[in-house]
Amino acid sequence: MLAIDLRGKRALVAGVADDAGYGFAIAKALAEAGASICLGTWPPALGIFQTMLERGKLDRSLALSDGSKLAFERIYPFDADFDTAADIPSEVLDSKRYRELGDVSIAGLADRLAADFGSQCLDIVVHSLANAPEVKKPLLETSRRGYLAAVGTSAYSFASMLGRLGPMLRPGASLLAISYLAAERVVPGYGGGMSSAKAALESDMRTLAFEAGRKWGVRVNAISAGPLASRAANAIGDIQKMIDHCLAASPIPRAVTAADVGNAAAFLSSPLAAGITATILHVDEGYHAMGVSGTS
């Protein structure tokens, strides 16, 4: 039987703060295949997430198919807005949710991983990060600050992470970013510069696949996932409207699930996908292929 086997592999999934989104589903799928999992979690959400784990609130979601429970090797405080500790403003460092956490930057994450596991310790890196402070605003009303914030957190952070984590990758490593169809087509309501950020993320993915492939021999891909009513997606506004439209228009009239994306990520991260890089895999029931609605 041909199976996905990630035993002995270590994955870092950045952007997990609950059990409802794609990042968590990817972490769980990688664990089902045998990988050990580290998380990078946004500091303002870290305390709540850790409390939920400690109190068993997520035990049902953590259950694996073999009867065991998903356990994380490490959960690191991580803010992808900052490349180094020097970039973190003093008012952020002194705030309640940051002051005890130390260096939460991208470089700080790399340093923590190296201290915990050694200089070459990663096989899989997943970028499941997106944020736009003005996501509910149409692009015509988005400020320069809001636009650049969306691109910085949602796109540039992937390049910055790869630049700092690249030397820590083992041979044959896989990197994966989570994108959305708004990178290619108009999705009304997906505002604040987020569509531009996803377009930049996909373009950067291709360039990084070339540069990192030549430099370290690693693969870089993206999944363009269908809409999901995660807690983070609810910030967009009427996410259910997007889901319903996708459901009605797709070749397979079924809403995409987090598990669908998690399984695709496990495949792309495995040796079975050794020949795949610089590729965007759509996991959206074929919605991306439609020119008009599939309804009569």
How distant, in Å, are the alpha carbons of 46, 226, 228, 229, 255 from that of 240? 27, 12, 8, 7, 11
The number of angstroms, rounded, from the C-alpha of 151 to the middle of its chain's C-alpha atoms is: 15
**Which strands make up the sheet holding 122-127, listed edge to edge?**
72-77, 36-41, 10-14, 122-127, 169-179, 219-225, 280-283
**Per-residue confidence (pLDDT) for residue 235, from 0 to 100:** 59
pLDDT digits (tens, 9 = 90+) for 34-77: 999 999 999 999 999 999 999 999 999 999 999 999 999 999 99
The residue whose two tokens read 């015509």 is 140
Res. 230: pLDDT tops 60: no
Question: Alpha-carbon distance 21 to 131, whole Å?
Answer: 14
Which residues lie below 8 Å from residue 54, measured CB to CB, with a gap of 6+? none
Q: What angle do CA 172, 29, 261 make, to 5 degrees?
A: 90
Which residues lie below 8 Å from residue 20, measured CB to CB, with a gap of 6+? 230, 231, 258
User: pTM for the full model?
Assistant: 0.95
* CATH class of residue range 10-287: alpha beta
Which has the closest alpha carbon to 258: 17, 28, 8, 10? 28
Which listed residue (76, 98, 147, 180) is catalytic? 180
Res. 96: pLDDT tops 90: yes
SS (H, E, C) 58-92: CHHHHECCCCCECCEEEEEECCCCCCCHHHCCHHH
Active site annotation includes 147? no
Q: What angle do CA 13, 75, 166 make, to 5 degrees?
A: 45
How distant, in Å, are the alpha carbons of 110, 115, 167, 170, 223 from that of 119? 9, 8, 8, 10, 28
Of 294 and 222, which is predicted with more confidence?
222
How distant, in Å, are the alpha carbons of 24, 26, 28, 162, 168 from that of 12? 11, 10, 12, 12, 12
* Continuous segment of H or E residues that includes residue 177: strand 169-179
Which listed residue (76, 147, 156, 190) is catalytic? 190
Res. 234: pLDDT tops 60: no
Active site annotation includes 180? yes
Question: Alpha-carbon distance 21 to 24, whole Å?
Answer: 6
Mean pLDDT (whole number) for 224-250: 74
Mean pLDDT of the chain: 94
Question: Alpha-carbon distance 136 to 203, whole Å?
Answer: 24
